[in-house]
Amino acid sequence: MSRLLVCPPDFFGIEYEINPWMHLNNRVNHERAVQQWHDLVSVFEKDLHIALERIVPLPGLPDLVFTANAGVVVGQTAVVSHFRHPERQQEEAHFENWFRSHGYDVMTLKPGLFFEGAGDLLGFTDLLFGGHGQRSDLGVYPILSKQFNREIIPLELIDSRFYHLDTCLCPLSGGELLYFPAAFDREGQEVLAARISVTHRLIVPEHEALKFSCNAVCIGKHVVLPAGCPTTEGLLQERGYETHAVQLDEFMKSGGSAKCLTLALD
């Protein structure tokens, strides 16, 4: 992964409530949010030498900063999201235009099927996981599995605080899986235990899961994650990962953190 899509937080704020983290009366401190976003971007650009693409922010689309939900990119194909909540559906055309103008083959899903992009679909090179039950529909995964010729294991999300898969699961470059099991139903927990060897399962404690410690970006041996998760950092460091913690609490007011603020482009 060498290129990420991000969106400056010019119009970020809490203007509606579509997940349990969002409260209209818990206003975003704009200056702090801008500072935190720049700190995150600086870790990617200056420390990790990652190329960032910036999509133009638009007024009235406060969640556009969460580019993980733009869609999912596999090779030259971009599958554009179709958001469950009308509040975010206006983002779809803007993301689609960006993909088209940057040379991607754009694929859209048939109307009525909800899919929230890389927020709900992530994994390893040959094995992907698809979150459903909160935002994305289970029915999208057989279609995407066929399209990309990859196995996709559906995982049902049963806790509304962990409404996107990337809020509670993070595949690492060495084949390990960082996750919070209680966010999944029993079948999901069993399938993860069956597919990932016990030495490769990094289980985060609940109090750090609630700080979105799994909402992390793994690039090679580096992991960028929200600040305030020392146990998770320890688990990662034991496996040889270098951790980069960034304070992103202004974005937590919207139910998002490091991973949500980026989209892997290759």
User: Does residue 69 interact with ligand ARG by CB under 6 A?
Assistant: yes
CB of 215 within 8 A of CB of 167? yes
User: Is 260 annotated as catalytic?
Assistant: yes
Q: Closest separation between CB of residue 19 and ligand ARG, Å?
A: 4
User: Does residue 96 interact with ligand ARG by CB under 6 A?
Assistant: no
User: Does residue 158 interact with ligand ARG by CB under 6 A?
Assistant: no
User: Does residue 18 interact with ligand ARG by CB under 6 A?
Assistant: yes
Buried-exposed string 66-93: b where 16+ CB fall within 10 A, e elsewhere: bbbbbbbbbeeebbbbbbbeeebeebbe
User: Does residue 134 interact with ligand ARG by CB under 6 A?
Assistant: no
Return the number of the residue (88 or 211) whose C-beta is nearest ligand ARG.
Answer: 88
CB of 66 within 8 A of CB of 262? no
Catalytic pick among 7, 82, 132, 164: 164
User: Does residue 119 interact with ligand ARG by CB under 6 A?
Assistant: yes
Distances from the Cα of 16 to the Cα of 20, 57, 211, 242, angstroms: 11, 18, 21, 36
User: Is 170 annotated as catalytic?
Assistant: no
Q: Beta-strand (E) ranges in 3-142? A: 3-6, 51-54, 71-74, 77-80, 105-107, 121-123, 127-132
CB of 6 within 8 A of CB of 52? yes
Q: Closest separation between CB of residue 66 and ligand ARG, Å?
A: 4
Residue among 189, 183, 83 nearest 136 (CA): 83
Return the number of the residue (22 or 74) whose C-beta is nearest ligand ARG.
Answer: 22
Return the number of the residue (166 or 208) whose C-beta is nearest ligand ARG.
Answer: 166
Number of residues that bind ligand ARG (CB under 6 A): 16
**Which residue in the set 131, 171, 188, 256 belongs to the binding site for ligand ARG (CB under 6 A)?**
256
User: Would you tell me which residues interact with ligand ARG (CB under 6 A)?
Assistant: 18-19, 22, 63, 66, 68-69, 88, 119, 164, 166-167, 254-256, 260
